[in-house]
Amino acid sequence: MKPAKRPIIDMQHITKVFPGIVANDDISLSLMEGEIHALLGENGAGKSTLMSVLFGLYTPEGGQIKKYDDVIQIKDPNDANRYGIGMVHQHFKLVEVFTVLDNILLGAEPMENALFIDRKKAKEDIVALSNRYKLKIDVDAKIEDISVGMQQRVEILKMLYRKNNILIFDEPTAVLTPQEIEELMKILNDLKNEGKSILFISHKLNEIMAISDRVTVLRKGKAVGTFITKETTPKALSTLMVGRDITFEVAKTPVTIGDAQLELSHLSYISPRTKKALLNDVSFSVRSGEIVGIAGIEGNGQSELAYLIAGLLHPSDGHIHLKGQDISHRSVRYRNDAGLAHIPEDRHKYGLILDDPLFSNLSMKKYHKEPFQKNGILNKKASLELAESLIHSFDVRSGQGIYSLTRSLSGGNQQKAIIAREIDTNSDVMLAVQLTRGLDVGAIEYIHQHMLRQREEGKAILMISLELDEIMKLSDRILVMYNGQIVAELKPKQTTKEEIGLYMAGGHPS
Amino acid sequence: MKKEGLTGSLIAISIGLVFGLVIMVIANPFQAIPGFFTMIGGWLIHPDFLRRVGDLFYIAGPLIMTGLSVGFAFKTGLFNIGATGQYTMGMFAGIYVGVYGDFFGPTQWIFAFLAAIVFGALWGLIPGLLKAYFNIHEVIASIMLNYIAMYTVNMWVQTNPTLFNVQFAKTVTIDANAYLPTTFLRDIFARSGIDIGILLAIGFSLLMYFVLEKTTFGYELKSVGSNRFASKYAGIKENRSLILSMTIAGALAGIGGALYFLSRGSINSGNQYPVANELMSAGFDGIAVALLAQSNPVATIFSALFISFIQRGGFFMQTLGIKIEIIDVIVAAIIYSSAMSMLAKDKLTSFLKKWRTKA
């Protein structure tokens, strides 16, 4: 490892104000040459805003940015690019129908002459780059056909192709599988060893501990401090980030298990498009007072399982019983009203109407019941009252309270709103899918506590998650899904992550 | 519409008018200024004032309906470019009952009106079904249906000797019982084309406002418009909502056809359909009306009145020797740039805010 030398970028006293909120309040941050500098903070702490300022997407109200000793003005991403600053956004900025090659070239096309792009040379350059940094890509594949991991490598190559040496990664691991995360970590280290300076935004402490040289903690728009990673601990960092002590362990009180509330028998689902069985003869039940966790690598039928239970898909075979009643072919509304709450996997697509105000989203599951309507006439007052009480009791924070546009809330607060709404339906069965995806430690802790409280109240909870930690921590029973089937049932106390991992990959422990 | 929205609309209109004036100056420099004043209100300063106001209300009625049709669809996430076809179908059904439904007696107009609603609704239902079950975009489907409606109606009319007046290439005049009642209105606005059509249009505007803003039904339709998936997740039958939205939009446009043609008429219009192989403009003007009103049903009343006002003003510019084609261009330019400016409304309003804080 090269020793960190002098600061390549110095952000001094950056202040950025949005209507109703100071996103960055007098933040200073210096990035050394050849270091990986992590930026840690909860959702809404101002990490992405700060990086957007550096990348020229926002103009700050106060402060200045220095590269080495010169004050630089970054008005737009083109300026940033001129100063060697590149960014991989959390949601990739790629043209789906273009090839990998064209995406990398876009905006920096090498010209053969005035009219034609020199694709041959570009391709050679890119292949050389990808070999040098061990970034495996298929240059001629279309973006829509390649994995998320490869898309991210394309984004990285885009920066390298533009000869950027200051690389910003905005929550790069949020969309990756555990294997892909490991690979990314290697890539980041390689880049560092090649002399690149890296800013790494994350709220996952273990990643920051593993990869970064230094870490700056942000809380509520302010920089709390910068630390040498080796000299600090995850516990200290999380306390700084959240502003209070975080309990990593959850206390689970024993609960008497009741009757089966949700029963699946021989449930199968065949994709109408590909005729492939995405779910194959799945049977299990969830009883009141227990959390059943479903573990598995993404794409092994978990999403379909959730959609089938919720009524968004219809089974090809088999039955679903809710509180003893066959609901296999009932409507979504019928299931909701019969006692099924559902925290959906994709909170933007299914969970919320982003362009509606918060209060309307909070009564989305109840608007058809009294007192929210009478004889088909909406009772707005009832919705507003419900919303006020929910954002208060679930600590949903937003710029303009219940009137805020739902889109303007941070991811964590959006998820809290969904959870508030679903818990408020007081349903006997809770289907929770990717409960805490993309959320920070504070929000995760909060949400986990709510789930445990639901369990104590005797709800039957089916939790589908890609996060093994979450499964291990909350579940009373763990089911592992592989290739559309349940391949194992395990007790969290009697198993290990390794064992679950083996089942998840389709293996059998001998 | 909020206060800022209203200011935005007014600025949009002003930009449109200035744009129109520029075109007039280029086309006819000497008559431009008087022509412009005629257009923006001079035409009302006339001994026939009341009659002209009455006619304005008469032509605004159908425009309110097509504006409502397009605006309602917008609010529920659909682009109903097929209002013209639905209007045509509504017109045909209205005229048909108006000609052959004499056995209804004095209630003939009611049945003609209902027939127009049904035919307009059916013509909206088709793209709704296509979108819900085959995922065919409603714009494509309804553009095609505009032509299908026009040619089908023309065929039906021209092949029916008792309906078609070959000499004038129009449908025969509908029965007097099929005219919408004029009640007291024609006493006030003597000799004008006014009838209860304008009142019906205003009534429907208020009704649509109520449905969209105050009822669970309207909430469901809007939700599906904003996010089909989340609506389905919340238990709303999204295909049903979508089909109903298009059907209602169709019915509203169909009513527009009824309001225009089930009328005693005055300004060389109403009660007969002049057969021509071109799409009627009412549906497209409805798009401009809806844009200008930001799809708000109540604002639609005013935006339709404004557009009719300009169109009538254009008509009277002919007396200054300005060619009718140039008038069409100017009116179109105003409608067009008003509508386009509405798309930049947010920028306008934020500019306005800044300007105010500076001042």
Q: Is the dihedral of CA B290, B292, B296, B301 positive or negative?
A: negative
Residue B2 inside a domain? The answer is no
For residues A136, A141, A143, A144, the Cα torsion angle rounded to the nearest 10 degrees is -120
Tell me the fold of A7-242: Rossmann fold (3.40.50)
- Consecutive 10-residue averages of pLDDT for chain A (510 residues): 71 87 89 92 83 91 91 91 90 89 88 84 91 88 84 91 92 75 89 92 85 92 91 87 71 86 95 87 95 88 94 94 94 94 92 93 93 92 94 88 89 90 94 86 87 93 90 93 92 86 76
Residue B347 inside a domain? The answer is no
Nearest to A378 among B214, B233, B236 (CB): B214
- Could B235 and A365 be called an inter-chain contact, meaning their C-beta atoms sit closer than 8 Å? yes
Q: What is the pLDDT of residues B77-131, one digit of tens each?
A: 999 999 999 999 999 999 999 999 999 999 999 999 999 999 999 999 999 999 9
Distance CA B212, CA A75 (A): 43
> What integer pLDDT is reported at residue B5 of this predicted model?
66
Distance CA A301, CA A492 (A): 22
* Half-sphere exposure (Cβ direction) of B129: Cα atoms closer than 13 Å: 6
Question: Helices in A178-290 by DSSP H: which ranges?
Answer: 178-193, 205-211, 234-242
What ipTM describes this predicted complex? 0.80
Q: How confident is the model at residue B157 (pLDDT cuts 50, 70, 90)?
A: very high
Distance CA A133, CA B269 (A): 76
Are A70 and A58 a contacting pair, CB within 8 Å?
no
Query: If you write DSSP's letter for every residue of B140-154 in order, what string do you get?
Result: HHHHHHHHHHHHHHH
Domain that holds residue B222: 57-283
Residue from B35, B62, B109 nearest B317 by CA: B35
How big is the A-B interface in CB pairs under 8 Å? 62
> At residue B29, what is the residue type?
P
Instruction: Pick one of 3.40.50.10860, 3.40.50.300, 3.40.190.10, 3.40.50.1110 as the CATH number of A260-504.
Output: 3.40.50.300
Query: Which chain A residues are Cβ-neighbours of B2 within 8 angstroms?
Result: none
**Smallest Cα distance from A79 to chain B, Å:** 25
Residue of A nearest to B230 (CA): A350
Q: How confident is the model at residue B229 (pLDDT cuts 50, 70, 90)?
A: very high
Query: Which chain A residues are Cβ-neighbours of B223 within 8 angstroms?
Result: 353, 356, 364
Structure tokens at A145: 């056909």
- Could A378 and B215 be called an inter-chain contact, meaning their C-beta atoms sit closer than 8 Å? yes
pTM: 0.78
Strand A291-295 relative to strand A460-464, pairing: parallel
- Any CB–CB contact under 8 A between A368 and chain B? yes
Distance CA B131, CA B246 (A): 10
> At residue B257, what is the residue type?
G
Distance CA A216, CA A47 (A): 10
The torsion angles phi and psi of A98, rounded to 5 degrees, stand at -90, 160
> What integer pLDDT is reported at residue A1 of this predicted model?
46
Strand A477-482 relative to strand A377-378, pairing: unpaired
Residue from B75, B101, B68 nearest B300 by CA: B68
Q: How large is the greatest C-alpha to C-alpha distance in chain B, in angstroms?
A: 69
Pick from B75, B216, B232, B240 the residue to mutate for testing the A interface (most A CBs within 10 Å).
B216
- Could A356 and B223 be called an inter-chain contact, meaning their C-beta atoms sit closer than 8 Å? yes
Residue B334 inside a domain? The answer is no
Question: Helices in A45-143 by DSSP H: which ranges?
Answer: 47-54, 77-82, 100-105, 119-132
Nearest to B216 among A335, A360, A378 (CB): A378
Residue of B nearest to A333 (CA): B235
E strand or H helix that includes residue A282? strand A277-287
> What integer pLDDT is reported at residue B66 of this predicted model?
97
Distance CA B160, CA B166 (A): 10
Are A475 and A494 a contacting pair, CB within 8 Å?
no
> What integer pLDDT is reported at residue B268 of this predicted model?
65
Distance CA B268, CA B265 (A): 7
* Half-sphere exposure (Cβ direction) of B301: Cα atoms closer than 13 Å: 16
Domain boundary assignment for chain A: 7-242, 260-504
- Could A364 and B223 be called an inter-chain contact, meaning their C-beta atoms sit closer than 8 Å? yes
**C-alpha distances in angstroms, A136 versus A99, A143, A171, B61?**
15, 14, 21, 65
The torsion angles phi and psi of B11, rounded to 5 degrees, stand at -65, -40
> What integer pLDDT is reported at residue B41 of this predicted model?
85
Q: What is the pLDDT of residues B275-316, one digit of tens each?
A: 988 999 888 889 888 988 889 999 999 999 998 998 888 888
- Any CB–CB contact under 8 A between A405 and chain B? no
Displacement of CA B97 from its chain's centroid (Å): 22
8-state DSSP, A248: S
SS3 of B347, please?
Answer: helix
The total of structural domains in chain B comes to 1
Residue from A225, A255, A277 nearest A475 by CA: A255
Cis ω before B127 (30° cut-off from 0): no
Residue from A312, A311, A318, A310 nearest A279 by CA: A318
Strand partners, A27: A14
**C-alpha distances in angstroms, A482 versus A53, A297, A436, B124, B256?**
43, 8, 22, 47, 59
Interface of A with B in 298-317 (CB under 8 A): 310, 312
Pick from A378, A379, A407, A422 the residue to mutate for testing the B interface (most B CBs within 10 Å).
A378
- Would the pLDDT of B56 be above 50? yes
